[in-house]
Amino acid sequence: MADDPIHTASRKLIRSNLVSKDNKESVRFIELENYKLWSYMITHKHGFTLKDAYLCLWVNREAFSHKQDIYSRYGKVEEMNHMVLMLYDDVNGFSFTISRFVLERETTIMKKILTSHVREELVIKNSFDLQVYPGYCITNQKKLNTMVLGLSSDQVY
């Protein structure tokens, strides 16, 4: 797999702890610029409660290895993959990309989830591609409680 500069560039993420209606906790990693919309949808449409949020940085494996000493000082380091599902829908004549950040240990589960949503005719025509870009998530250990681009973890919708 050749490196794709678009998908291997570092990304600012927010690590958000969710609590479902039946009190099951899970973690999601959302790109910073999508967080406000995502948090609105996840709380209002899907009924989750947001518990905590932390700033994170996803860095591809090669970049991390070159500056590991610096990145490791920032916070908690975990192996994380950037998963990119690319689809071409010939019915509508366009393609689109779905991007997810997932801890390495959850990659197999996320692959199954993402590919289960691909329509059968796209699978048969081989009109989709799923790439996994390995890297690391560096999480700041302070709860996000100050304004970051107009966002805060204590904001209620």
The answer to whether residue 130 is domain-embedded is yes
- At 109-152, the pLDDT tens digits run 999 998 888 878 777 777 788 999 999 999 987 787 544 555 55
Q: Does residue 39 lie within any of the structural domains?
A: yes
**147: in domain:** no
Q: Say how many residues make up the chain.
A: 157
The amino acid occupying position 58 is W
Q: Is the pLDDT confidence value at 23 over 90?
A: yes
Please indicate, yes or no, if residue 155 is contained in any of the structural domains: no
| Count of domains observed in the chain | 1
65-to-2, 9, 42, 60, 62 alpha-carbon distances in Å: 18, 14, 35, 9, 5
- Give the structural domain span for 105: 10-139
Asked whether residue 107 carries a pLDDT value surpassing 70, the answer given is yes
CA-based nearest residue to 151, from 33, 23, 8: 33
Q: Are strands 128-139 and 25-31 parallel, antiparallel or unpaired?
A: unpaired
CA 50, 55, 59, 65 torsion-angle sign = negative
Q: How do residues 66-100 score in pLDDT, each as one tens digit? A: 999 988 888 899 999 999 998 887 777 888 888 99
Residue 85 lies in a domain: yes
Residue 153 lies in a domain: no
